[in-house]
Amino acid sequence: MIEQIHVFDFDDTLFDTFNTETFIDEICNVAKSSIDNPTVATALCTARRGEKETVIRTKSLLKNKGLVFDYHIFKPEDFDYENYVFKELYISKLIDKFPSAAVLAFWDDCDLNLNHVKTSVTEKGLSYIPIKCGPKPINN
Ligand SMILES: [Mg+2]
């Protein structure tokens, strides 16, 4: 039975897109544990556009890293609202699939996303755990 839902952003959460273009192991390891836990439903939720090429490239990067989520949510090409609106809407839809879940944890580097998602999670009666991410600053 699903007890928790764990949602991971991609850019600057699982993957250091703008500096090293490599995976951020600390968060990837957390995601792996979630994926391996049968009581947790997992989702990637990224504002990367859902066009075919982007989806294939992103999923292939994840698969090579050993990360295959239950759901891979990309921002629809025709969805013209802000990213935080997109994330709140799609995470809200995800919650509806798992009535037994009591907790939603959300890893994202953007405070606006983390704060905005709180509204629908708490309205639906789940406990909310926001985890602020971001690549470590490059030293020297
Ligand atoms: Mg991000």
Please state the pTM of the whole predicted model.
Answer: 0.95
Mean pLDDT over 77-100 rounds to 96
CATH of the domain at 45: 3.40.50
- Domain membership of residue 89 (yes or no) is yes
Structure-model confidence comparison of residues 140 and 108, the more confident one: 108
- Domain membership of residue 59 (yes or no) is yes
Q: How far is the CA of 66 from the centre of ligand 1 (A)?
A: 20
pLDDT at site 136: 66
Q: CA 120 to CA 89: how far, in whole Å?
A: 8
Q: How far is the CA of 129 from the centre of ligand 1 (A)?
A: 17
pLDDT at site 137: 62
Q: Number of structural domains, the chain?
A: 1
Q: How far is the CA of 6 from the centre of ligand 1 (A)?
A: 15
Q: How far is the CA of 138 from the centre of ligand 1 (A)?
A: 18
- Domain membership of residue 61 (yes or no) is yes
User: Which residues constitute the domain of residue 80?
Assistant: 24-132
Mean pLDDT over 30-35 rounds to 98
- Domain membership of residue 15 (yes or no) is no
Q: Which of 77, 39, 45, 76 is nearest to 58 (CA)?
A: 45
For residue 32, pLDDT over 70 is answered with yes
- Domain membership of residue 94 (yes or no) is yes
- Domain membership of residue 138 (yes or no) is no
- Domain membership of residue 33 (yes or no) is yes
- Domain membership of residue 87 (yes or no) is yes
